[in-house]
């Protein structure tokens, strides 16, 4: 985990990466399908949403590769991540309105943190591809902690790095496990509708959902919460 300067600010914006900053979930689904199909697991959209989206590779390995050793599971999932990075290269596009929102948060002096279950190589590739690595005070990797999402620890760590309070902050997530993690940490969470529906996101605990970062209702909610 990257050590970061702790800010004396009570508010923060915390972002998941895949499916939240960029719509990469279809490429993850394809990479999982390429690795798991020869092993008898067809990965369609519904199975991806239900059993793969937002989960850590450790838990995915336990579910899909129960007969393999932990070392072999790791190797198979590393293969999946390599396929994903090959697929996503040159195709990293920010969700609509993201850059303007990051500009606004920077101007208001509100720190931002990236919180993900993705491997560090993936997270750094996506942030770099979007040209926004410098925007974030910290990058929290679930696999580098004792517990990843849906445990609250990744988001608790994100808050700790910038000295922010949960209730004064807002998280952005696109998966059930991510929303469960952020809300368990006490952070009001906006669900981004890149893969799941509004009903699915709210059922997981999101206080609202949006399809893009320039959604008027989202911007009004942020203006009220962040007082910018």
Tokens of 19: 């499916």
* Model pLDDT for residues 157-185, shown as the tens digit of each residue: 999 999 999 999 999 999 999 999 999 99
Please report the pLDDT score of residue 90 as a whole number: 86
User: What pLDDT band is residue 54 in, cutting at 50, 70 and 90?
Assistant: confident
- Catalytically annotated residue among 16, 23, 25, 215: 16
3-state secondary structure of 40: coil
> Is-catalytic flag, 23?
no
Nearest to 80 by CA among 121, 115, 116, 20: 121
Specify the pLDDT at position 7: 42
Active site residue 16: yes
Rounded to 5°, angle at Cα 158 from 9 and 48:
140
pLDDT tens per residue across span 112-167:
999 999 999 999 999 999 999 999 999 999 999 999 999 999 999 999 999 999 99
List residues bridging with 112 in a β-sheet: 13
Q: What is the pLDDT of residue 23?
A: 94
pLDDT of residue 188: 98
Tell me the average pLDDT of the chain.
Answer: 94
**The two structure tokens encoding residue 179:** 């929303």
Q: How confident is the model at residue 35 (pLDDT cuts 50, 70, 90)?
A: very high
Q: Which residues of 178-206 are buried (b: 16+ CB within 10 A; e: fewer)?
A: bbbbbbbbebbbbbbbbbbeeebbeebbb
pTM of this structure = 0.87
| pLDDT (mean) for 210-226 | 96
From the centroid of its chain, how far is CA 75? Answer: 23
């Amino acid at each position: 985990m990257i050590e970061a300067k702790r800010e004396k600010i009570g508010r923060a914006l915390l972002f998941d990466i895949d499916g939240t900053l960029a719509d990469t979930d279809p490429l993850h689904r394809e990479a999982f399908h390429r690795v798991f199909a020869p092993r008898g697991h067809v990965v369609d959209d519904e199975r991806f949403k239900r059993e793969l989206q937002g989960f850590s590779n450790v838990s995915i390995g336990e579910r899909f590769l129960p007969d393999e050793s932990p070392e072999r599971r790791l190797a198979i999932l590393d293969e999946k991540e390599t396929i994903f990075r090959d697929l996503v290269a040159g195709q990293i596009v920010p969700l609509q309105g993201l850059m303007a929102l990051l500009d606004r948060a920077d101007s208001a002096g509100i720190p931002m943190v990236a919180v993900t279950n993705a491997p560090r190589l993936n997270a750094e590739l996506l942030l770099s591809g979007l040209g926004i690595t410098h925007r974030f005070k910290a990058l929290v990797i679930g696999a580098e902690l004792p517990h990843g999402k849906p445990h609250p620890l990744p988001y608790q760590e994100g808050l700790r790095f910038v000295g922010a309070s949960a209730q004064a902050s807002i998280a952005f997530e696109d998966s059930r496990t991510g929303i469960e993690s952020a809300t368990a940490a006490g952070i009001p969470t906006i669900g981004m509708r890149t893969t799941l529906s509004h009903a699915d996101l709210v059922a997981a605990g999101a206080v609202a959902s949006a399809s893009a970062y320039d959604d008027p209702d989202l911007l009004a909610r942020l203006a009220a919460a962040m007082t910018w």
